[in-house]
Every structure is written in C-alpha cells, then in structure tokens.
Amino acid sequence: MSATKAKAVIHDNDGHVDDLLSSMLLWLSPNVDLQAVTITNGDCYAPESFRALLKMATYLGLEGPEIALSEDSVPYPFPDNWRKESRIINDLPIFGDISLKKLYQDGQGRRSETLIKDCLSNSREPVTIVATGPLTNVAKVFEDRPELKDKVEEFVIMGGAIKVPGNVEREDKDGTAEWNIFADPVALKIILDLGVPVKLITLDVTNQLPLNKDFLARLEQQAKTHSASKLALSLWSLVKGYDYYFWDTVTVAAVMDPNIFSFKEIRVNIVTEGASQGRLTTHLFGGRKVKAAIKVNSKAFEDLLLNTLAIR
C-alpha cells in the first residue's frame, strides 16, 4: 500500500448493509485516518444501525473514531421494508458472544451534527467528508457553522444519476432520481453551494459493479481465516438473491485509492421538487462544478476490498 500520510475522513452514512461495510473498510484502510462515523436516519432505523456498528467494532476489536447518530427523519423517507434490515443486522449469529465483551463505546451516542462540528473545529488538517446516504445531517452542520467549510478538503458523495435512469420508483415521480439525493435534494444543494470540491459517485458508475458470485466466492475463502472477511460475508448474505451493487463500497474506495477511478469535471444542478425531484441536471455553463466518476477498474476495486478485508 502507499506510504503517504493517511487521509483524515469523516464517514456519514445511513446504516444499511453497504453503509456499514463501507465504515468497516475505511476503518481498516491504512490510507485512511477515520475521525468519526455518523449515522443518518435514512435507509435504516438510526438507533439500530448505531448498535450494529458498535457490535461490528467490538467484534473486530477496532479502536479510534467516535460513533454518533441522528434520529431526525430525512424529508422523504426510504421504504420501511428497506429500513427494517437494520434490525436484522443486529440479530446476526456472528454477534452472539458480543454481550461477553466490553462494547466499543458506552452511552447512547452524541448527535451526528455535534460530532462533525467538533471534528472539523479541532482538526489541524483538512478533512474529507464521505457521505453514503442523504446529506441531511451534513448540510445542517454548514447551515449552522458555514465557516467550517474551510476545514473540508472535499466531499465524496454517493448519489445521483446522470446518463442512466434513477432508482426511485414512485407513481408521482419520473424515475430520474437516485434515492440518496431524492431523500433530501435541498441538502445536496446546500453542499454544492459551499464551493468546496465535490466528487460524485453516481449510478452511472455503480451500475457497472454488481455484487457477484466470483467476488463472494473469494471472500468466502478469506472468511475462513480473517474476521473482517467473515463479518463482511455475513452482512452481504442478507442481500443474497437481490440485484445488489457495490454502491457505497465503491464510494469509499474513491478515498482509499482514487487512482483506480477516472473522473470528469462537469457542471450540475439539482431539481428540488416536482416529478423530477432529486434529479441531477448537467450544463455547459452555470451550475456547480463537480468531479463525477465515469469509470472504475473493476478488478482493482474488488482486489482493494478483499485486501482490506484481509487486514484483520
């Protein structure tokens, strides 16, 4: 791995299977100094995902970042049957002996916004904020403390669809939006308007990377001797049989090793209401500049995940 200084990172996520896996990958990566993990009440029930993350850290014997959560609802909630997955995660057999160990963190957890503000205020170096859920909590930080944008190196965001259809399937919407952005489009606008560099990992890229049998077979072999691989296999087993993609894990990989990606600078706006709510529109002039991932080396990406999950 690279001998360069580890990148300071805050991971804000909404607590589904791939979000929790993404936190674990950032935690384990030698290229990342994970400062905080914060949970948004998006594609999960935040208290359930908070407890699941504590169990994961305890199981792996991890140290480091504080974990926080916000129970505030996002403006447009995810389907309830998706969010219930966070309860199932807590009951995974792999956590059967957790009660015999000292839990990673005591107490109920601080609010996400409070922890993010503290991390940025006290950081001596610029921090990368990785968001793999709706940006509700992150946007609140900068609405309240706009000067903290000077402490942010960049935002790396999983969200949006540009040249491919969205994944929001509702009768009152036109299918152009992706769920993370649809759930709180105004929050993305707030982040874009800060003028801080933004990298977008959209469905255009994640659609190229389905969770596949070959990858899971390699992971299963690793799981025989590596605890992190065993835990990852348990989590991914919950989505077996579904059309599932490396949405959030691709996004954190863009921080762990950006060299396996190709990016293109584009200008975007966000539709905040109506049938196209959450849609990203592209423009030759106007809008906000972002770097959108357009391609990822799939073999290098899968190798990066597997190598990282073999660290512990």
User: What pLDDT, in 10s, does the model give residues 60-72?
Assistant: 999 999 999 999 9
User: What pLDDT, in 10s, does the model give residues 5-26?
Assistant: 899 999 999 999 999 999 999 9
Predicted local confidence at residue 4, as pLDDT: 76
Against a cut of 0.85, is the pTM above it? yes
Q: pLDDT at residue 3 above 80?
A: no
**Architecture label for domain 7-206+243-295:** Alpha-Beta Complex (3.90)
Say which DSSP state 177 is in.
Answer: -
At 168 the three-state DSSP class reads coil
Predicted local confidence at residue 100, as pLDDT: 84
The residue extents of the domains of the chain are 7-206+243-295
Q: pLDDT at residue 1 above 50?
A: no
**What Rg, from alpha-carbon coordinates, does the chain have?**
18
Question: d(Cα 82, Cα 227) in Å, to the nearest integer?
Answer: 26
**What does the pLDDT average to over 157-162?**
98
Vertex 275, ends 273 and 279: CA angle to 5°?
A: 70
User: What pLDDT, in 10s, does the model give residues 39-49?
Assistant: 999 999 999 99
User: What pLDDT, in 10s, does the model give residues 210-221?
Assistant: 999 999 999 999
**What does the pLDDT average to over 148-165?**
98
Residue keyed to tokens 């940025």 = 120
pLDDT confidence band for 266 (50 / 70 / 90): very high
Q: pLDDT at residue 200 above 60?
A: yes
